[in-house]
Amino acid sequence: MKNRSKNKNANGFSLLELMLAMTIMLVVLTLVSTLFSRSIATRQRESSRTDALTSAQAALNVISREVANSGYGLTGNGIVGADSDSTKLHFLSNIKNDNTTFNDEAENITYYFDPNTRSIMRHDPNGGEPLIPFGPRTPQTSVIINRISSLDFRYFDYVGTNPPTGPNATPTINTSRVRVTVTVSLERVSLERVDTGDVNPQSVVLVSDVALRNSDYMLRQY
């Protein structure tokens, strides 16, 4: 009888206290879930940014290296002015130093931007293997990098000892430096919220100033 009386008089949790405890737990779980989602979004953003930067820098290095050789073995800067502008660069070089028709690989190169595939393209009319042994090489167009927003070429002209003029949208026979600008698109991370201002950057811009080592002006500097 005594034990039964103690159990009967023991106080337990009321319904209001249980609801309050559940509410606090839900709030805590919501905060933890939000922080976890944001950490995942941040990691995805930084991973995307790193991949984009690495790929774009590698592509820019390839372009810069080849553009720097424009005019090699020639008397001019090698840029085909009639076929070059702010979105396309066509240049020649005589790497093997054994012809003037530019029939060898990597002697007649055009870089341009393809908006349909958002890619930087490299075209070499003599870059493919010959269809028959010792025959002429076949044209080859390859993708340097995709997920690109834009590719821009700007030209600087040097005459005598005067400061350069530019950047210009088109080249001339006096062009001795080319500025290559690559804008890389970044994928939006869906977990990030625009209304809080925590938005991943939409693009990364990389710039390379390339001196045409074989232009008349640059040759006089060595």
Q: Which residue from 102, 76, 103 is spatially nearest to 215, judged by alpha carbons?
A: 76
Task: Write the single-letter amino acid at 118.
Answer: R
pLDDT of residue 23: 87
Report how far Cα 28 is from the mean position of its chain's Cα atoms.
41
Give dist(CA 185, CA 171) in Å, integer.
27
pLDDT of residue 98: 72
pLDDT in tens, 60-105: 999 999 999 999 988 889 999 999 999 999 999 988 877 667 888 8
| Residue 180 CB contacts under 8 Å (≥ 6 apart), including other chains | 60, 63, 64, 67, 151, 152, 153, 207, 208, 209, 210
pTM confidence score: 0.74
Domain residue spans of the chain: 32-219
pLDDT in tens, 22-68: 888 888 888 887 777 777 766 766 676 777 788 889 999 999 999 99
